[in-house]
A and B are shown apart, each in its own frame.
Chain A
């Protein structure tokens, strides 16, 4: 076996190990080099949307993901929530993922107290935000909330009647809020587009995992007014709100990983081409 054949037949475990070492190294030394994150129009439009809302305005944020996507989607959830809390925009939280309720409840409490210490705010449950919990069958829940939030959510996550929450006073359906931001890791994004926007025509923006991002670009400009794709999108949002957090910290590791994979693709292809040539020439 010549060197070219060895390059093509490289055991994938060496690739895993190399990638792990590179990503770990890049993460440990993330402060030694910075990645210049440029903001894109699709992310900026969500930031501008929230930024242009008056204090006291209400939006719905749907956290449709579970702990398996937490690492990827939590940074964008945090960035959006922090901007809302800083601006005084009130947030109605909901989750359409059956494994997400506990995680979202914890996120609200954690990011609320972070906002308190960072911006000297006093984020209060029921007034500045509420979490109405989880209900199954996302499509029907999205349709139901378009008629009245109380159809599927007569009570919030803590079993308080929705009518007893100050934030829900005067809020019946999507007409009474400024828009919806759905942060999702699955087909719920489709449901927000086809049941939410196409039926009720409310302003809708999506935050999605990297795997999903390219699928939702075609909706930009018609069904959705903004799109945050994966960590890069979250890092852009962190830059816009002026706070470097998990997504920004992970960008050096992302760059290192992408370069490593490009390197391995090149090695594999060069090995393939050269081994084919050497077979043709009989060497």
Chain B
């Protein structure tokens, strides 16, 4: 037996002993949660079988949960419960008195057509269902996106560059508006490629890059905060709920 193999057995023995002791002291669920957290953290050192185990367990459990939620929250109440309520009344008594809706045959057929993708010969039929999905979604999104991401955004950039309030000139709001207005204009100039970025236009484009860099920096700062929040959350669990070292 080589040294590497011996070390893996020693680590496995330590993990098993710690797991059993922890179950006895802290209970099963907290112990499982704590060990899975440590297994995932172990990836920071390097890829290993403990990490793989936790990762696969997570993927499998998530997929199963998602499937069962999809069945009981979508298929049963929205399809079977409306198409022929007595079919699912044994499982969901609340649906028993619902009237049958034959129109639900349409989504049923579309759903079956979508599953035709699994067949190499009849796969083309699924395009009908896909066309319905794409058409509906595109139609819904077009108008709404135009309003929220285009018209409202333009509206938000059209404001006074000289702001006054009850006490007179508002320096802070004026500076804020000038920065927003200038930032938007310079950002747009940077993405305008039909004219060479030279002279005053080039200066605007370079300012646009600076604005973009500041935006990326702010995003990075927020991302660090988000990740540290998750780390602290896990630490609260490990040191608090599991080890009882912090309250």
Contacts and interface: CB of A to CB of B under 8 A. Distances in A.
Given A136-B74, A254-B228, A214 B222 contact: yes
A16 B149 CA distance: 39
Contacts, number: 121
Interface in B192-219: 215, 218-219
A239 interface: no
A230 interface: yes
A70 B233 contact: yes
Contact of A253 (B66, B73, B219, B232): B232
A218 B236 contact: no
A246 B144 contact: no
B100 interface: no
Contacts of B44: 13, 16
Range class of the A interface residue count: 35 or more
Contact of B226 (A99, A209, A218): A209
B231 A23 contact: yes
Contact of B234 (A71, A98, A193): A71
B228 A222 contact: no
A166 to B, nearest CB: 20
A229 B224 CA distance: 13
Interface in A114-134: 134
A196 B71 CA distance: 26
B222 A135 contact: no
Contact of B156 (A13, A99, A221): A221
A157 to B, nearest CB: 11
Nearest to B143: A198
Interface of A: 13, 16, 20, 23-24, 27-28, 69-72, 98-99, 134-136, 139, 143, 155, 159, 161, 193-195, 197-199, 209-211, 213-214, 218-219, 221-223, 229-232, 246, 250, 253-254, 257-258, 261
Pairs A-B, 3 closest by C-beta atoms? A71-B233, A210-B226, A194-B144
